[in-house]
Copies of this chain bind each other. A is one copy, B any other.
Amino acid sequence: MSVTAPQGFEAAGVAAGLKSTGKPDVALVVNRGPRKVGAAVFTSNRAKANPIIWSQEVVKDGVVEAVVLNSGGANCFTGPFGFQTSHLTAERAAELLGVSAGDVVVCSTGLIGTGDEVFRGRVLAGVEAGVAQLSSDGGQAAAEAIMTTDTVAKTVVVSRDGWTIGGMAKGAGMLAPGLATMLVVLTTDADLEASEAHAVLRRATGATFDRLDSDGCMSTNDQVTLLANGASGIRPDLDAFAAALTEISDELARKLQDDAEGASHAISIEVVHAADERDAVEVGRSVARNNLFKAAIFGNDPNWGRVLAAIGTTRAAFDPYDVDVWMNGVRVCTAGRPDRPREEVDLTPRATHVLIDLKVGEAAATIRTNDLTHDYVHENSAYAS
Most B C-beta atoms less than 10 A away, residue of A78, A217, A372: A217
User: A292–B220 Cα gap in the complex (Å)?
Assistant: 13
In contact, A377 and B298 (Cβ under 8 angstroms): yes
CB-contacts of A58-96 with B (<8 A): 74, 76-79, 81-82
User: A79–B334 Cα gap in the complex (Å)?
Assistant: 10
> What sequence of 0s and 1s flags, for each residue 290-332 of chain A, a beta carbon within 8 Å of any chain B beta carbon?
1110011011110111101111111000001100000000000
> What sequence of 0s and 1s flags, for each residue 183-196 of chain A, a beta carbon within 8 Å of any chain B beta carbon?
00000000000000
Stretch at the interface among A33-41, A126-134, A243-251, A335-343: A335-343
CB-contacts of A334-385 with B (<8 A): 335-338, 372-374, 376-378, 380-385
Q: Given A174-B292, A292-B174, A374-B374, is A112 in contact with B305 using a C-beta cutoff of 8 Å?
A: yes
In contact, B333 and A46 (Cβ under 8 angstroms): no
User: A381–B112 Cα gap in the complex (Å)?
Assistant: 31
Q: List 17 A-B contacts (CB under 8 A).
A: A47-B311, A74-B305, A79-B336, A79-B337, A112-B304, A112-B306, A112-B308, A112-B309, A174-B309, A180-B309, A216-B291, A217-B292, A218-B313, A295-B377, A296-B380, A299-B384, A372-B380
Which of B48, B215, B385 is in CB contact (< 8 Å) with A301? B385
In contact, B337 and A78 (Cβ under 8 angstroms): yes
Which of B219, B296, B312, B376 is in CB contact (< 8 Å) with A309? B219
Which of B78, B81, B82, B291 is in CB contact (< 8 Å) with A291? B291
In contact, B320 and A47 (Cβ under 8 angstroms): yes
User: A217–B74 Cα gap in the complex (Å)?
Assistant: 30
Which single residue of chain B is at the shortest CB-CB distance from A301? B382
CB-contacts of A200-252 with B (<8 A): 215-220
Distance in Å: Cβ of A137 to nearest Cβ of chain B: 36
A111 at the binding interface (Cβ < 8 Å):
yes
A178 at the binding interface (Cβ < 8 Å):
yes
Which of B180, B220, B292, B337 is in CB contact (< 8 Å) with A215? B292
In contact, A295 and B113 (Cβ under 8 angstroms): no
In contact, B377 and A308 (Cβ under 8 angstroms): no
A45 at the binding interface (Cβ < 8 Å):
yes
Distance in Å: Cβ of A174 to nearest Cβ of chain B: 6
Distance in Å: Cβ of A373 to nearest Cβ of chain B: 6
User: A79–B323 Cα gap in the complex (Å)?
Assistant: 12
Which of B82, B380, B383, B385 is in CB contact (< 8 Å) with A292? B380
Chain B residues near A314: list those with CB within 8 A. Answer: 46
Which single residue of chain B is at the shortest CB-CB distance from A218? B313
Chain B residues near A215: list those with CB within 8 A. Answer: 291-292
